[in-house]
Amino acid sequence: MNQNQEIQKLVDGILNKQIRYIAKAISFIENSEYKIKKPFLKLIFPYTGKASIIGITGSPGAGKSTITDKLIKAFRNDNKSVAVLAIDPSSPFTKGALLGDRIRMQSHTTDPFVYIRSMASRGALGGLSQATKDAIKVLDAAGFDIIIVETVGVGQSEIDVVKVADCVVLIFAPGFGDEIQAMKAGVVEIADIYVINKADLDFAQKLFKEISDIANLSQKQPKPAVLKTIATNTFQESGIDLLKKEISNYLNFIKNSSNLAKKRQYFIESELIDTLSKAMIDKILSNQNIKSFFDKATIKKIYNKELNFYTVIDKIMEAI
């Protein structure tokens, strides 16, 4: 079977929502260069755009995975099919997912309408790798109603989720210094819903008030809701149904206005720039006339100030 036939087999399996082919397709796009996976992505693109995409982000230890687990159950109670991409820190050696958040969601593994996948951030500073965005397309084409993207949880730099999620849920927990982080615009501006998790702990009410004050200053429409939840283990939970309701209300609001179309056009523009930038860099670096500027001798000359760094840049631009 040639490559085109293999790709078509993958696509057919995805469109028939066969988990084996979904898993295989995500592994394929994680481990393939753009030019290899491009024919596959071209074929599935027309089938994307139907799923509601929810981003779950926040500080490490705030309870993102536990809340995601509870949300799966809540959406399944509404007969919605749910896919989860849990983005984990990368191993510095293998670049693979280090933590594997799926272990917190094992109760859903026998449900044929739930698919959970851990993916490595692969060092992406914004929290999401390009493979994550492509994996969302696979799950969307497979017909999942809800796709939840749970990010690494590295703080203010982790804002790429706003480039893929229709609704971003930002989770805080008392005692993590989150009220200070929340003041930083990079974090504040991405949230559509704020959640104070572990609301039974000390200082939860103080944090709730501070985040509420911040939400009231937001220019977003509708203004972000601020909720309290308790989601710390299998046996204790509170506020999850209200969170699901707020997510659903927000998604309905943006669908019935022009906001969803504007968001998704922004997603497309952003990904066009990112994908084109990567493709152009790959093409430039494969040019034989360019490669000589990256040899050890040239690098050494720049280091010794025998060549000016910016003069070399000018010469590279002339050679393109």
For the chain, list the domains and their CATH numbers. 46-257 (3.40.50.300), 268-319 (no CATH)
User: Which of 107-111, 119-123, 304-308, 310-314 bottoms out in mean pLDDT, i.e. has the lowest?
Assistant: 119-123
pLDDT of res. 189: 75
Question: CA-to-CA distance for 249 and 233, rounded, in angstroms?
Answer: 26
Would you give the DSSP letter of residue 17?
T
pLDDT value at 124 more than 90: no
pLDDT value at 320 more than 50: yes
pLDDT of res. 92: 43
Q: Which two tokens stand for residue 235?
A: 């046996």
Question: CA-to-CA distance for 317 and 320, rounded, in angstroms?
Answer: 5
Q: What is the mean pLDDT of the chain?
A: 84
Which of the residue ranges 1-5, 43-47, 106-110, 286-290 has the most confident prediction, judged by mean pLDDT? 43-47
Q: Tokens 């203004």 belong to which residue? A: 223
Going by C-alpha positions, the residue among 191, 130, 32, 175 that lies closest to residue 183 is 191
Going by C-alpha positions, the residue among 137, 144, 173, 170 that lies closest to residue 156 is 170
Range 232-253 average pLDDT: 82
Indicate the burial class of 22 (C-beta count within 10 angstroms; 0-12, 13-18, 19 or more): buried
Contact status, residue 87 vs residue 217, Cβ threshold 8 Å: no
Tell how strand 146-150 and strand 52-58 pair up. Answer: parallel
User: Which of 49-53, 88-92, 224-228, 277-281 bottoms out in mean pLDDT, i.e. has the lowest?
Assistant: 88-92
Q: Which two tokens stand for residue 303?
A: 């280091």
Helix (H) or strand (E) holding 254: helix 240-255
pLDDT of res. 62: 82
pLDDT value at 286 more than 70: yes
pLDDT of res. 155: 53
Question: CA-to-CA distance for 14 and 235, rounded, in angstroms?
Answer: 35
Range 281-306 average pLDDT: 90
Higher pLDDT, 246 or 110: 246
Give tens-digit pLDDT for 160-215: 888 899 999 998 888 766 555 555 555 667 889 999 888 888 788 888 888 888 88
Those residues whose C-beta lies under 8 Å from the C-beta of residue 235, and which sit 6 or more positions away, are none
Which of the residue ranges 71-80, 114-123, 128-137, 148-157 has the most confident prediction, judged by mean pLDDT? 71-80
Helix (H) or strand (E) holding 227: strand 225-228
Question: CA-to-CA distance for 161 and 131, rounded, in angstroms?
Answer: 13
Q: Which two tokens stand for residue 282?
A: 């790959």
The CA–CA distances, whole Å, from 316 to 291, 292, 311 equal: 9, 10, 9
Task: List alpha helices for the chain, DSSP H.
Answer: 3-15, 19-31, 34-44, 64-77, 130-141, 178-181, 185-188, 204-216, 240-255, 259-285, 288-291, 296-303, 309-319
User: Which of 136-140, 235-239, 287-291, 292-296 bottoms out in mean pLDDT, i.e. has the lowest?
Assistant: 235-239
Higher pLDDT, 91 or 2: 2
pLDDT of res. 96: 47
Per cent of the chain over pLDDT 70 is 83
pLDDT band at 153 (very low <50, low <70, confident <90, very high): low
